[in-house]
Amino acid sequence: MPRDVDPSLNRRRLRIALRKAREATGQSQGQAAHALDWSLSKIMRIEQGVVSLSVTDLRALLQQYEVTDPQLSAELEEAARGSKGASWWAEYNDIMGPGFSQYLGYESAAASIRTYNPIVVPGFLQTDEYAMALLAPRVDEARARRIVELRTARQERALEGDEPPWTFFVVDEAALHRQIGGPRVQRAQLQHLIDLSERPKVSLQVLPFTAGAHYSTPNSFILLGFTDDEDLLYLEVQGNQSMRDDHELIVRHQECFEYLREIALRGDQAIDLISRIREGIDSS
């Protein structure tokens, strides 16, 4: 599944380039909006990458920001032409809110994905049966199937695409023992983890019960890394919030994840633990 054709990636290219160009001139968003006789919200939405941009508006911005490089201008015009249209996840808008939709735009462009989950297996690693069982207490079956379809599409992009990102997972040992869907489903889920760990750009670690407390002990989080931008933090427990500007909170989670990677089991040790837990589940 190509990662370079989605309109969200072109909007992101424009967001980064135009924000840098504006900052290079020393203009605030408000000053740029006033000079162009635009609303402040229009500038903000462009720099958030949530709207498409016409070539005419782009040229006005480039002139305002004194961008004269013809190659850069041509590249951005091409991005503007490609910024229109629906993103790959648009068909699932009926089952997700705007916060998660915005997050998926970032996720689609990420060069790395770092995930910690203390309660259940992370969505990227769930089998369909495990995911359906996890959703069953809260969602009707038809909606659950739609959510699982979206989750599968995300898995394919992150793990099986033409240029998948690097993915780093730290799974708490508690998630390995909790039998979501019963013994058979849990055994299949654990085998799935073992199989995924063999992929070249996937790192899977297990945080053992003996590890003790840490900064994000009760809460899962995702850190997205980019080659041309700062990290983004995603916190589902806070209303599907994607955070780029709370630098202190992002740094805390960056440090937390590195700490988790230091103390979590890796390689053969992690796989041996998963295998022992799997074999210990009664399959009768």
Average predicted confidence (pLDDT) for the chain: 91
Asked whether the predicted pLDDT for residue 1 surpasses 60, the reply is no
Asked whether the predicted pLDDT for residue 38 surpasses 50, the reply is yes
Asked whether the predicted pLDDT for residue 77 surpasses 80, the reply is yes
Contacts of 42 (CB under 8 A, 6+ apart): 33
Q: How far is CA 95 from CA 85, 91, 184, in A?
A: 20, 9, 28
Give pLDDT, residue 141: 95
The predicted model gives 47-69 an average pLDDT of: 92
Asked whether the predicted pLDDT for residue 209 surpasses 60, the reply is yes
Dist CA 212 CA 195 (whole Å): 28
Give pLDDT, residue 3: 40
Contacts of 99 (CB under 8 A, 6+ apart): 239, 240, 241, 242
Asked whether the predicted pLDDT for residue 284 surpasses 70, the reply is no
Dist CA 277 CA 186 (whole Å): 10
Grouping H, G, I as helix, E, B as strand and the rest as coil, residue 38 is coil
Q: What is the pLDDT of residues 96-106, one digit of tens each?
A: 888 888 889 88
Asked whether the predicted pLDDT for residue 239 surpasses 90, the reply is no
Give pLDDT, residue 282: 79
The answer to whether the Cα torsion of 3, 5, 10, 13 is positive or negative is: positive
- If pLDDT is split at 50, 70 and 90, which confidence band does 215 have? confident
* DSSP 3-state percent helix, strand, coil across the chain (nearest 5): 55, 10, 30
In angstroms, how far apart are the furthest CA atoms of the chain? 72
Q: Which residues in 55-85 are b (16+ Cβ under 10 Å) and which e? A: eeebeebbebbebeeeeeeeebbebbebbee
* CATH superfamily entry for domain 7-81: lambda repressor-like DNA-binding domains (1.10.260.40)
Q: What percent of the chain has pLDDT over 70?
A: 96
CATH fold of 97-279 = Endonuclease; Chain A (3.30.870)
Asked whether the predicted pLDDT for residue 237 surpasses 80, the reply is no
Q: Which of 218, 7, 2, 220 is nearest to 113 (CA)?
A: 220
Q: How far is CA 20 from CA 65, 135, 237, in A?
A: 9, 42, 31
Say which residue, 273 or 227, is predicted with more confidence: 273
Q: What is the pLDDT of residues 117-172, one digit of tens each?
A: 999 999 999 999 999 999 999 999 999 999 999 999 999 988 987 789 999 999 99
Q: What percent of the chain has pLDDT over 90?
A: 71
Q: How do the domains of the chain map onto residue ranges?
A: 7-81, 97-279
Asked whether the predicted pLDDT for residue 81 surpasses 50, the reply is yes
Q: What are residue 170's phi and psi, to 5 degrees?
A: -115, 115
Dist CA 197 CA 65 (whole Å): 47
Write down the residue that tokens 């996720």 correspond to.
107
pTM value is: 0.83
Give pLDDT, residue 218: 84
